[in-house]
Structure 1
């Protein structure tokens, strides 16, 4: 059991929506948000060490892991990053954490981006792993982006087309998605964690929810980001950006410059010697970066 020492919880956050998570520690609160197609287990190589200094809360985003997986609709608002950010605020508030740090990867980092803008008084500092802002990535789309992030365009297709393709052979999808496309080998993943990721791909409700996450990113999330830019709403807290030296962010974007465009505070960061799945590929280095940034 990867999180055996942690206390599991389920909290109602929005009507019949329940968010699952685990928590441990007694220091300053730190919220961990996972990426696609993973869940809170992706943090298993650093969470116990972090819990020695922080009150660690690791959740499954709505649509992922053991959290609720409501059916989407044509607006995709149910899976907008603004809605998912509200889930996070509800969880942390119910756990007694009015202000907290965030470390978030991939899709979770996109939720954290919106959370920092919508709820600035709640966030002390934020660490975002291996992303550039969603709007910037779509607006700069080219052959390199579309090839490396093919799933951004597959998963946004009208339901149930991508769901049907994935569900026809979830093992093949996961083997390609995680086994060498973004990581050096599928062997970097702990078997218990990977089995849980694969199990989700065998669940039609989870596959639909993940597609809705991406559909929201290509529609309502872009509307929200354009509105934020127009209204001058920016990230207010200090921000650290870390990305894999072997991935698309390094090859295509000036990550620090892109985040400075949407931040009113300091932005720092660097490329790390790994691929996309930083917490599982390079945990010791990530721990060092987190602890240094949060204690400065």
Structure 2
């Protein structure tokens, strides 16, 4: 692990490979370790940077909810890449990492060469047009965003039970589908009370900060090439036409379903790697 102080905090990252730079950002409730099975197929042709988002893993965890917007998270990662000598780069994100990459493409279009968003619909759309089906599947948005310390105390009673229920709760996964080595790294991270607080603040900021920021940018488009990947058997694919939610928001978009549910990068790493590599090679 390496670490750099950028944008007012220490960001943990790993870097490997050689070639054009690719930034890879994880989602909830994971860490940059989620990309370990995918990196080997990319690093032969690309320089791959995997970083922990603020509040997650080994990256710093600010105190205030307002510091957890996707705008702030995107600024962290752009600053990291610039410090590493990459003023322009490709960006890949899953879940919260994908929401960070979406905001990055809007706030820093000069830095982002292409984006890959995995298993999300736009944040504003999900919250503004919330359905019973989505609310039931994605209840954690509203549990984690409750005022502190309520969700933190509930989760700290048994972090493994709670977060593993999240890994299995969004379609087509069993605990045996996850690499035991990666699971242990996730568990080490999410057992930390400060990480639990950081993840709750991430979700609080989505409702308190990001919704309004996204409302201001509803008419803006992503101008770089975009790949939309989604779990073909996941909760989002059952509730939305995922490519359709992004089509008007992108000037150059392609999409594909990957076998499995929300956590298909963990459960189908070969298929995920192939899709990313083909897209990056084309762009």
Range of TM-score over shorter length: over 0.9
What is aligned with 1:258? 245
1:26 pairs with 18, 36, 53, which one?
Answer: 18
Per the alignment, in what secondary structure is the counterpart of residue 19 of structure 1?
Answer: strand
Once the two structures are superposed, the pairs formed by residues 189-228 of structure 1 within 5 Å of their partners are 189-228=178-217
What is aligned with 1:237? 224
Aligned length: 282
Q: Which runs of 5+ in 2 are unaligned?
A: none
The CA distance in 2 between the partners of 1:42 and 1:31, in whole Å, is 13
Aligned-CA RMSD value: 1.2
C-alpha displacement of 1:279: 1.3
Spell out, residue by residue over 1:77-124, the C-alpha distance to the aligned partner (whole angstroms, 9 max, x if none): 200000000000110000101111111100000000000000001111
Per the alignment, in what secondary structure is the counterpart of residue 121 of structure 1?
Answer: coil
Spell out, residue by residue over 1:181-219, the C-alpha distance to the aligned partner (whole angstroms, 9 max, x if none): 444211122222212212222211110100010111112
What is aligned with 1:5? none
What is aligned with 1:159? 148
Say whether residues 1:283 and 2:283 are aligned partners: no
Contact 1:180–1:186 (CA under 8 A) maintained in structure 2:
no
Say whether residues 1:87 and 2:79 are aligned partners: no
Spell out, residue by residue over 1:15-67, the C-alpha distance to the aligned partner (whole angstroms, 9 max, x if none): 3x100000011100000000000001001111122111100000011111111
What is aligned with 2:5? 12
Aligned CA distance change for structure 1 residues 150 and 87 (closer, same or farther; 3 Å): same
1:125 pairs with 102, 107, 114, which one?
Answer: 114
Contact 1:71–1:205 (CA under 8 A) maintained in structure 2:
no
Per the alignment, in what secondary structure is the counterpart of residue 185 of structure 2?
Answer: helix
C-alpha displacement of 1:180: 5.1
Q: Extract structure 1 runs of 4+ deviating beyond 4 A.
A: none
Per the alignment, in what secondary structure is the counterpart of residue 243 of structure 1?
Answer: strand
The CA distance in 1 between the partners of 2:113 and 2:4, in whole Å, is 23
What is aligned with 2:59? 67
The CA distance in 2 between the partners of 1:154 and 1:196, in whole Å, is 24
What is aligned with 1:101? 90
